[in-house]
Structure 1
């Protein structure tokens, strides 16, 4: 009995010491030194201005900067509590971006480094008439806007064509075309626009006012039909993610100048208008993706700075190469190995990501054999030919329905389920039936393969919370001969019905 009592005493002493240890740890954690910053990078507009750097310290602090006379601080020391240092810089007319490291030291032993950057002002500012922020008609979040879209269609090869909009043989866009699209049940239009073809002054990057007015007119057609509209920069080759140094600064400045002009022109449209930074920016490496994010940041800043409804407008950012694979690798917020950081936006829940889906490329992109592979005419389970002449034109089973399922599911898991809306800005199939003349059964099977692809991919996109935008197709025919346009009409009802079936309307 004595041994048992001794053991009980040890147990009590052990519990008591454990309680003391936990209490001590909690006290230590509570009293740990604090120096908390809202961010570790801060940007000042190239036109100059003042931004506030906010932080909290539980002891006295001091701030120093390593050189850089271009940046001035409103104060360099202070006491405990919440603090703000106003950072001020004049216009950066040096022709190159610049940065400085700001160091905040606290007497509690904590130390923080903040990088302050300023882009170069290479072109004049086109934000010459900013308006006060106007939230009227801009209440929906980006996710809510996407949820309101049934699906969309691209006005392809038109406003993105060289010269004026008829440069690739398409007629001018009309209200009748937009009304026809709306009559099908689609309620969204993506307008690809090439702006750099319409720069009238390369020294200032001024866009032809007539071109801005024409694009605005087409946007108005969509509003008249109560459509959602995504307006982008399309075949604008200046968006080069491979350049560095001064060349990159010039690209960045041009992107800003172009978007300031677009945003100012379109500023009074409500939330049905959405801006998209680019189209298919070529970025594959970590560094190129970081450069792309820089361009996207300038796009956001340019749009927001113009004020009015643009202060709250939803904005679309393209994944590197507009690739789903790279979007998952580089931008997935749950991936601890992700190498890129999305741009910041002072307005929450207004950002949308974009990828394009032309997979498998043998079926979706090429209609003739390429150096890297043969064109596939047949896609999908139950849609393979048994004709021995064309067995090599059947798609690989690994690139069919299961592949689509996995791709679209990854978007749901990595983005839409996490509150990040996503659009599939382009998808389509190549036309293969004409390669099978003299074989009517196979020609029809090739058509059915395409219709099946439309239905299946559209359905899987919608099921996983992605808004699909068809690229071209022969659904909407736009006759144009000898400079004379005839009314648009439905050219492939079966294809349209397949899309509607997939989209659920």
Structure 2
């Protein structure tokens, strides 16, 4: 479902304390492959050169917080969506180039963290996996904008053309791991001087449906951790984020019974996303498996348009889902990042229907944020820059103002 969601986004908008080792060991003790047209090419790809060319001794300065302590410093976050991960270039999915003024607005709006979805493979030399210096410089510049404002940053490898997501299978496993190693050695080395305000995330929404694929995904996460730690310096202590299967809470609860091994204790978080019910949050046309919902939540159902009221995925489901993550990870010293959540606005409605829908959407934003905080999840709202019909956006990137005050107020209220 998560992979389906991402494809729908692309069609819609082009995305669219140190006792943690014992806790992680306790988690480990509790306990159909996807294919792609380029799998054979991946399997034949030669070993890339090592890009860990300047490893440093461990440097704990500026890195005092373990994952739980760092999580306590993050209130609620915002996604710089459809920008640095845009295929074809930073502005290719409809947003202007990211500036310090935009990040200043994000901070002024109340967020204290930014997730930066990022593409790398489209810029890489496909023979050597070398990343261009200019792109590494640009990404570092945007990260610096956030750090300048005292914001926490999660920098990831996003869908990125699917080089990882489309190849969670045994045939491509060795070559995907080789590219994961090469990319993260370069990214980690470039970003190494940042202090604990910067976190790295292994992937985005890796589609996994069974234990075999889960094992392969864990190997990709292990390669990520090994590559980052190998560069040393601040990266020895940096908090790292690994994604649950499909970043789906149900699958993560069921399949993610082992975490990668980390030589640095207590510096790991798990990531999931939340767009439930999808019929309310993102579905833009009735489907054979279900129809669009316009109204969600207790007190926000329509009496005049009852066929569009949510029939599942309401408050009780949110509580149940988030409590699963709290019980499995948070209570065991492993913070959980709610890396994306959001619901589209349906501006094709009018009159009382539109008013009720927008109020319902704001209630969803508030409730998800609130329940995330109650259960120890770190909420990062998905903003892809669109303020129009079917858009998620809150910040107007054309003039660096708040474009949806109602939604912003809801998130702030939920995060308090």
Q: TM-score range by the shorter chain?
A: 0.7 to 0.9
Looking at structure 2, the residues matched to 375 and 214 of structure 1 have their Cα atoms a distance apart, in angstroms, of 39
Is 1:244 matched up with 2:174?
A: no
Gaps of 5+ in 1: 1-37, 39-94, 98-119, 332-337, 480-486
Q: Is the 8 A contact 1:158 1:170 kept in 2?
A: yes
Q: Identify the residue that residue 500 of structure 1 maps to in structure 2.
A: 412
Structure 1 position 447 matched with structure 2 position 358 = yes
Distance 1:461 1:228 in 2: 18
CA contact (8 A) 1:137 1:270 kept: yes
Are 1:241 and 1:282, in contact at CA under 8 Å, matched by a contact in 2? no
Tell me, in whole angstroms, the C-alpha distance in 1 between the residues paired with 2:224 and 2:159. Answer: 16
If each structure's strand is expressed as a fraction of its own residues, which one has the higher value?
Answer: 1
Which residue of 209, 222, 229 maps to 2:133? Answer: 209
1:141 Cα deviation (Å)? 0.4
Instruction: Quote the offset at 1:121 in angstroms.
Output: 7.3
The answer to whether the Cα contact below 8 Å between 2:394 and 2:405 also exists between their aligned partners in 1 is: yes
Maintained 8 Å contact 2:77/2:379: yes
Pairing 1:27-426 to 2, within 5 Å after superposition: 122-199=47-124, 201-236=125-160, 237-239=162-164, 240-245=166-171, 247-331=172-256, 338=257, 341-387=258-304, 390-396=305-311, 398-426=312-340
What secondary structure is seen at the aligned counterpart in 1 of 2:56? coil
Name the structure 2 match of 1:488: 400
1:14-29 matched pairs, under 5 angstroms: none
Work out the CA distance in 2 between the residues paired with 1:134 and 1:414: 31
Q: Normalising by structure 1, what TM-score?
A: 0.71
State the Cα distance separating 1:417 from its structure 2 match. 1.3
* Contact 2:393/2:404 (<8 A) preserved: yes
Q: CA deviation at 1:249?
A: 0.7
The verdict on how the C-alpha distance between 1:447 and 1:212 changes in structure 2, with shifts beyond 3 A counting, is same
CA distance in 1, matches of 2:170, 2:43: 11
Q: Which residue of 2 aligns with 1:460?
A: 371
Task: Give every structure 1 segment of 4 or more consecutive aligned residues whose post-TM-superposition deviation is greater than 6 Å.
Answer: none
Segments of 5+ residues of structure 2 without an aligned counterpart are: 1-24, 26-41, 384-391
Matched residue, 2:394: 475
Secondary structure of 1:207's counterpart equals: coil
Residues 190-211 of structure 1, C-alpha deviations (whole Å, 9 max, x = no match): 0000111111x21101111111
Is the contact between residue 153 and residue 470 of structure 1 (CA under 8 Å) also seen in structure 2? Answer: yes
What CA deviation, in whole Å up to 9, does each residue of 1:292-333 have, x standing for no partner?
Answer: 0000000000000011100110000000101111111122xx
For residue 57 of structure 2, give the secondary structure of its aligned residue in structure 1. Answer: coil
Q: Greater RCO between the two (CA within 8 Å, min separation 6)?
A: 2
The alignment covers a number of residue pairs equal to 366
**CA displacement at 1:494 relative to structure 2:** 1.5
CA shift, 1:430, in A, is 1.6
> In structure 1, the residue corresponding to 2:58 is in which secondary structure?
coil
* Cα offset, 1:408, TM superposition: 1.3
Q: Is the 8 A contact 1:241 1:291 kept in 2?
A: no
Deviations 1:2-54 (A, max 9, x none): xxxxxxxxxxxxxxxxxxxxxxxxxxxxxxxxxxxx9xxxxxxxxxxxxxxxx
How far is 1:370 from its partner?
2.3
| Per-residue deviation, 1:474 | 2.7
Deviates more, 1:371-380 or 1:268-277: 371-380
- Structure number having the greater helix percentage: 2
Instruction: Please say if residues 216 and 265 of structure 1, whose CA atoms lie closer than 8 Å, have aligned partners that are also in contact.
Output: yes
SS at match of 2:411: helix
Query: Residues 121, 135 of structure 1: CA spacing in aligned structure 2 closer, same or farther, 3 A cutoff?
Result: farther
* Conserved 8 A contact 2:168-2:217: no
Asked whether the equivalents of residues 295 and 360 of structure 2 are also in contact (C-alpha less than 8 Å), the reply is: yes
CA–CA distance in 2 between the matches of 1:377 and 1:293? 38
CA contact (8 A) 1:138 1:271 kept: yes
**1:135-179 deviation per Cα after TM superposition (whole angstroms, max 9, x unaligned):** 101110011111101100000100010122101110011111111
**Aligned residues of 1:283 and 1:321 also touching (Cα < 8 A):** yes
